[in-house]
Amino acid sequence: MNRPITGHRSGDFSRLFAETAERLKLVFQTRQDVLILAGSGTAGLEAAVANVVSPGDKALVLCGGNFGERFVKICQAYGANVLQVEAKWGEEIDPELVAATLAEHPDVKAVFATHCETSTGVLHPIQQIARRVQQTDALLIVDAVSSLGAVDLPMDDWGLDIVVTGSQKALMLPPGLTFLAVSDKAWAAVESNQAPRFYFDLRAYRKQVRANTTPYTPAVSLIYGLAEVLTMIEAEGLSNIFNRHLLLQKMTRSAIKALELPLFTTDEAASPTVTSVGICDFDVEKLRKALRTEFNLAVAGGQQHLKGQIFRIGHMGYCSPADVLQTLTLLEIGLFQAGAPVVLGRGVRAAQEVFLTQKEVVSHG
């Protein structure tokens, strides 16, 4: 990424861009074009809404946390008539409730779902939701910002209509890019949507990606980085990447259980990319501050009403079992200092045991 910038309309850059966009299809598990926009994940979410929703359209948002709420706000900003299926923060969306709501409102144009709800650490059951949505005319639009590239989400096989992600999570890049892939069914809705849009008009990105370029100046350095990241992803292999994230999840959750701290989600609902710990009866913010100042270790806090109540350990993308073991070691020290009744080494030991068992399973086929 530190290479000098090449002209973004040069032949060299065009070749790199075309190759990179093509290679991204593996990550989306799609045959569709993958569109690359300069902007953060929220820009991708807004692009999905702007291209599908006209004022007055019914949008069903599945909401179980901060990022579900963001979809509500974006849809409202675009004049949608927003309905919601809600889950308690920390719990999964019930696919049957989605089916029942769609049966009651057959005119819903699109369903907006979050795959990994980063604010709670829940992985919502997108495949089961997709089965219900496919029985209707509605589109299914999925925010996979904190899951794509770490958790299996086969867009074409599951019949997802728009999948959105960002560069800075499982894709291991700095922030600044958002990616979208769009099904044939969704392209028809994008084409017929009369609502105004300009920078986010996905038709322009599709036209230009097919001409090996972008409609507006691309974030050249991030594309260099993306090409490198795709080489890493191809070398490790998607299914190995998914298994690595499951291992990191199991190591983290086993450690938290061994430390007798509460987990915010059940094992079944937990995301392989982020683990939420809480509700805690010690000062979570003090713990986070101590870890940051003493060890330069960032664990995330709770969002909205969970601020000060839970903390979240991210283990996605450029993250290995060694990183998780180090994090857990430092966390135990921080917890001890924060006055939580932990037995030092107990969490790390549980994580080590998960690691060894997993390795044994792998080496014995």
Ligand X SMILES: Cc1ncc(COP(=O)(O)O)c(C=O)c1O
165 binding ligand X? (CB under 6 A)? no
- One residue of 13, 17, 67, 355 binding ligand X per CB under 6 A: 67
Q: Is residue 123 a contact residue for ligand X (CB under 6 A)?
A: no
Tell me which residue has tokens 């045959």: 31
Query: Which tokens sit at 194?
Result: 């009369």
Exposed, middle or buried, 306 (CB in 10 Å: 0-12/13-18/19+)? buried
- CB 116 → ligand X: shortest distance, Å? 6
302 binds ligand X (CB under 6 A): no
Q: Is 271 in the site for ligand X (CB under 6 A)?
A: no
- Shortest distance (Å) from residue 265 CB to ligand X: 15
- List the one residue from 40, 128, 134, 358 that touches ligand X (CB under 6 A): 40
Q: Does 41 bind ligand X (CB under 6 A)?
A: yes
275 binds ligand X (CB under 6 A): no
Return the structure tokens found at 268: 């079944």
Under the criterion CB under 6 A, does residue 42 sit at the interface with ligand X?
yes
Q: Is 166 in the site for ligand X (CB under 6 A)?
A: yes
Q: Positive or negative, the Cα torsion across 107, 111, 112, 113? A: positive
Question: Tokens at residue 166, please?
Answer: 């960002």
Q: Which of 146, 249, 252, 254 binds ligand X (CB under 6 A)?
A: 146
Q: Counting contacts by CB under 6 A, is residue 32 touching ligand X?
A: no
Contacts with ligand X by CB under 6 A: the residue count is 12
Which of 11/175 has CB closer to ligand X? 175
As a whole number of angstroms, the distance between CA 95 and CA 144 comes to 18
Task: Give residues in contact with ligand X (CB under 6 A).
Answer: 40-42, 67, 114, 116, 118, 143, 145-146, 166, 175
